[in-house]
């Protein structure tokens, strides 16, 4: 009888730029493909997702935000995106995004979490119009069971304080 | 309209309000009048905001919230009030020169600023300490939703929101939405104001985005040759005269406030020479 192999102790994979880049490419692909449930699953149970209205905005609680979702609201946002009656996505947006210039800004001493900065460009096409969003993203990534999860995400749009039509597809 | 303006300031325990919390600038490709035609429209939430109403109704409240989602979800669910609610509990009042307000809608017991919310209790205590119990009760008894100061301003006192509508072109509008702080109110209350603003005025809001879509669609429709006239006749036969030369709908679903704005607009466009057409 074959003995069950003793569980092999997996060394946690390092939180390096290459791994974060892979993760961001995966995230970008989920969003471009409209796989919003899978995107939501990337977030931790108490995550938040934030797009400020001001450059260098200090807090989502004393100043308005283009988007500020705690986990509960983020779930509702994603559920609405799948609704048959979301008129603002009829026809749906098509997006194509590029993530680059990834740098790891800070890592916890036990290497369980890190803050990562990246640059992004998102092209959005809907009806006859094409829009271009760009800016800087900050992700707080946490190790969970050998995978990366988003503990929070802050998206600083270059044009955060200029007049904008509705933002539907997450950036 | 004096009551609406007083209500904005009276709700501040110290009797002063200040614009704070940044500004939303949302834009759409259609005429500025459409924005005002929506603000006091009680008939649309159940239909236009269906997607966020259903998504909110299905959301588990066991999921983590820092307070933001709680406020947003309560508002979205409130938008799902049955049509009969708008017909039986809410009213629309209009006055000369295009002004109007929607009233008796958000009662404080049902809302974000609910009576059992400790922040709101602290607020009431602050209001009573400054103004006395009787006066505080009178202040809170004024239940206004949106008030329109025609032709460019709208505000909502209960959640400290103020909107200024900027016509850019016949088919382009930019709206600036501000929040204001009630001086003397608990600091935490302003956080609720911000959460509410993100929900109803946010460029990425789950609610406003459907309104912007409808403005854009109407803009596309109006640019076509398909329709020569838009009908704004809802409630016309049941509107009744009101004090101060105004008219009110039998209930909030009347489009009397749109007819009232068009009356004012015609007067502006004819240098006041057109006779008022009794909304």
pLDDT (tens digit per residue) in B169-223: 999 999 999 999 999 999 999 999 999 999 999 999 999 999 999 999 999 999 9
ipTM of the complex as predicted: 0.91
Note the helical H segments in B98-232: 118-131, 133-141, 187-201, 208-223
Nearest to B183 by CA among B23, B20, B18, B21: B18
Chain A positions in Cβ-Cβ contact with residue B203 (cut-off 8 Å): 53, 66, 164-167
Cβ contact, residue pair A79, B202, below 8 Å: no
Whether B264 shows a pLDDT value over 90: the answer reads yes
Angle at B246 between CA B243 and CA B250, to 5 degrees: 90
Nearest CA-CA distance, residue B127 and chain A, Å: 22
Chain A positions in Cβ-Cβ contact with residue B179 (cut-off 8 Å): 64
Nearest CA-CA distance, residue B246 and chain A, Å: 35
Cβ contact, residue pair B50, A83, below 8 Å: yes
Chain B positions in Cβ-Cβ contact with residue A57 (cut-off 8 Å): 22
Cβ contact, residue pair A166, B197, below 8 Å: no
Nearest CA-CA distance, residue A118 and chain B, Å: 21
Binned at pLDDT 50, 70 and 90, residue B112 comes out as: very low
Q: Which pLDDT score, from 0 to 100, does residue A1 have? A: 52
As for how many domains chain A has, the answer is: 1
Q: Domain residues for A97?
A: 17-157
Fold annotation for B2-269: Naphthalene 1,2-dioxygenase Alpha Subunit; Chain A, domain 1 (3.90.380)
Separation of alpha carbons B176 and B162, rounded Å: 8
pLDDT tens-digit series, residues A20-67: 999 999 999 999 999 999 999 999 999 999 999 999 999 999 999 999
Taking CA atoms, A46 is separated from A69, A95, A105, in Å, by 11, 27, 22
In chain A, whose CA is at the least distance from the CA of B50?
A85
CATH of the domain at A145: 3.10.450.50
Measure CB to CB from residue B198 to each of A65, A85, A166 and give the nearest one: A65
Q: Which pLDDT score, from 0 to 100, does residue B169 have? A: 97
């Amino acid at each position: 009888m074959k003995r069950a192999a003793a569980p092999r102790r997996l060394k946690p994979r390092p939180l390096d730029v290459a791994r974060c880049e892979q993760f961001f490419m995966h995230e970008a692909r989920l969003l471009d493909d409209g796989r919003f449930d899978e995107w939501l699953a990337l977030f931790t149970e108490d995550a938040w997702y934030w797009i400020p209205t001001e450059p260098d905005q200090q807090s989502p609680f004393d100043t308005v935000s283009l988007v500020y979702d705690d986990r509960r609201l983020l779930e509702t946002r994603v559920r609405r995106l799948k609704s048959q009656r979301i008129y603002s996505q009829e026809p749906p947006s098509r997006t194509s995004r590029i993530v680059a210039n990834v740098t790891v800004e800070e890592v916890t001493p036990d290497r369980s979490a890190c803050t990562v900065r990246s640059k992004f460009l998102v092209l959005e096409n809907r009806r006859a119009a094409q829009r271009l969003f760009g800016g800087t993203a900050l992700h707080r990534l946490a190790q969970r069971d050998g995978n990366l999860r988003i503990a929070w995400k802050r998206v600083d749009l270059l044009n955060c304080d200029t007049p904008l039509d509705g933002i539907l597809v997450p950036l | 309209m004096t009551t609406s303006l007083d209500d904005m300031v009276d709700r501040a325990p110290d009797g002063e309000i200040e614009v704070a919390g940044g500004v939303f600038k949302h834009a759409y490709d259609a005429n500025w009048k459409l924005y005002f035609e929506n603000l006091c429209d009680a008939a649309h939430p159940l239909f236009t905001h269906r997607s966020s109403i259903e998504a909110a109704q299905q959301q588990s409240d066991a999921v983590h919230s820092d307070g933001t989602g709680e406020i947003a979800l309560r508002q979205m669910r409130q938008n799902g009030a049955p049509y009969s609610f708008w017909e039986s509990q809410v009213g629309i009042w209009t006055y000369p020169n295009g002004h109007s307000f929607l009233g008796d809608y958000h009662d404080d017991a049902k809302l974000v600023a609910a009576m059992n919310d400790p922040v709101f209790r602290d607020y009431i205590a602050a209001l009573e300490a400054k103004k006395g119990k009787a006066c505080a009760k009178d202040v809170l008894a004024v239940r206004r939703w949106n008030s329109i100061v025609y032709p460019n301003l709208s505000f909502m006192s209960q959640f400290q929101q103020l909107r200024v509508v900027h016509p850019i072109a016949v088919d382009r509008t930019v709206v600036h939405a501000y929040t204001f702080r009630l001086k003397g109110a608990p600091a935490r209350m302003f956080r609720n104001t911000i959460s509410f603003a993100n929900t109803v005025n946010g460029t990425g809001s789950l609610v406003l985005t459907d309104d912007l879509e409808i403005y854009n669609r109407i803009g596309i429709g109006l640019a076509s040759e398909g329709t020569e006239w838009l009908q704004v006749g809802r409630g016309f036969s049941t509107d009744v005269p009101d004090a101060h030369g105004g008219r009110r709908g039998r209930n909030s679903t009347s489009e009397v406030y749109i007819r009232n704005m068009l009356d004012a607009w015609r007067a502006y466009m004819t240098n006041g020479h057109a006779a008022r057409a009794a909304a």
